[in-house]
Amino acid sequence: MEFKISSTKKQELTDITEEINEIVKNSEVKNGLCNVYVTHATAGIIINENYDPNICTDFLKAINKSIPEHNNYLHDKIDNNAGAHIKSAIIGPSETIPIKDFSLKLGTWQSVMVADFDGPKQRTVVVTIIKD
């Protein structure tokens, strides 16, 4: 299964928990694993709190302080998005989440989000479900 989402800014976290939960429910798999994967080298998947969306703002501020957008990166002469590639490499393109009783076994404060570091862009999310 796959679906597409679109970011609207250069850097943005998009909550896809509902989309993933819907796919899990429709799979009729009771127990197993759900892998959520973005097929891009300037985005990633994170799992964290989105009840207070300020956490997304804080996350982006902190990762940009840790990994500056520009710092004489060699790839910036070609595509000017090295900072987005580096953040994507660190965050990683996927997370694998347990399925229990036909649902994602997320904690109360865990949402699944696409982190786009080089938007605005349309991004493809691939969801793979494996039975226990």
Residues of this chain that interact with a second copy (CB under 8 A) are: 31-33, 35, 37-41, 46-49, 52, 54-55, 57-59, 61-63, 65-68, 71, 73-76, 78-79, 82-83, 85-86, 88-98, 100, 105-110, 124, 126, 128-130, 132
Q: Which is nearer to a second copy, 21 or 124 (CB)?
A: 124
Nearest to 81 by CA among 93, 89, 73, 92: 73
Q: Which is nearer to a second copy, 98 or 120 (CB)?
A: 98
Nearest to 127 by CA among 29, 28, 23: 23
* Residue 100 C-beta: closest distance to a second copy, Å: 8
3-state secondary structure of 76: helix
Nearest to 13 by CA among 112, 126, 114: 114
Separation CA 22–CA 87 (nearest Å):
29
* Residue 22 C-beta: closest distance to a second copy, Å: 18
* Residue 8 C-beta: closest distance to a second copy, Å: 20
Q: Which is nearer to a second copy, 18 or 89 (CB)?
A: 89
* Residue 129 C-beta: closest distance to a second copy, Å: 8
Nearest to 108 by CA among 47, 24, 39, 27: 47
